[in-house]
Structure 1
């Protein structure tokens, strides 16, 4: 069995290799997330264009209504499925980021003089990143939040058309606005709950392994 050279810093080598691997995994997750979002954006845009073309042929026609409704349901199902997928991608990214923070903590404890030069988070020190809990506005940003916004707009349009939005009645406009708000609040609230769950899980692991300061 081969033995390691005593002057070779095995721990540092492993830590740096692990950090590089985590960076690669984060990049892969972000690329997959962006690719799926771009697909959904193209799909929803194309569907909106086709639906507009159908509606110009006459909304009162039952065939037109059925075709537009089918397209709408397809896009909404795809959109809400993608929203859950984007939240899952974000969860992977959050956990990978936490793993990188743990490795930076190891490096900072290993070389205390290096710590002032680490601007990214180390232990509970957020560095140059914003401190405190994420506001609802921050949670609305990012691909999950943008997907939620598009889903809510599409749902509002569908509800409005179902209630007679083409005639611009107060009832149809109010129904569409309510559908938009309820959908957006529900999705953003879900993002907030799962983020809180991720934070609790990461904090528990840090305490268990003695990483938390």
Structure 2
């Protein structure tokens, strides 16, 4: 099978737009595809690329100075996550997004150009603010990957572990008061890190793994 070229996207998109009553021409004043219809003074502009990238997005944004109806077009994508990400980006930028299936030229429009109307993500915002407020200090370096992130939850668990290391097996309520960690009992009961074990009802002790986690690196 011959390697796909950007030009291979043109014919399917031209046919798709012509079926909707547009007159279509390629490479007009730098735009890959321009379509006009007698009843609409604004052109439809489509920019073509073999993959979604910054250059394509920049081209689309530049074309918005000419028309409100700008689409980005790439070959059909395999992963739903990638597709959702591209569609979300285009919606935020007021761009349309379409894909072309190479084997048969099927064109699918995933979103049309429209002003972006953001929906507030109150749940995510609340989690972010709570994490920021609960976290002590700034224990992480921004931009790092594949390292353990020190969350407020982990900091609370460390305080509980440190108390047990010094005081020995203790009731959850006692640990909560001594460490100022209101959720101490829940943290030790859930034991996400394998640091705690229940020795009797309501009483928790530190495991060897917990002691190891407290050891200085």
Q: TM-score range by the shorter chain?
A: under 0.3
What TM-score do the two structures reach when normalised by structure 2? 0.26
Look at both structures and tell me which one has the larger radius of gyration over its CA atoms: 2
In terms of fraction of residues, the more helix-rich structure is: 1
Higher relative contact order (CA 8 A, sep 6+): 1
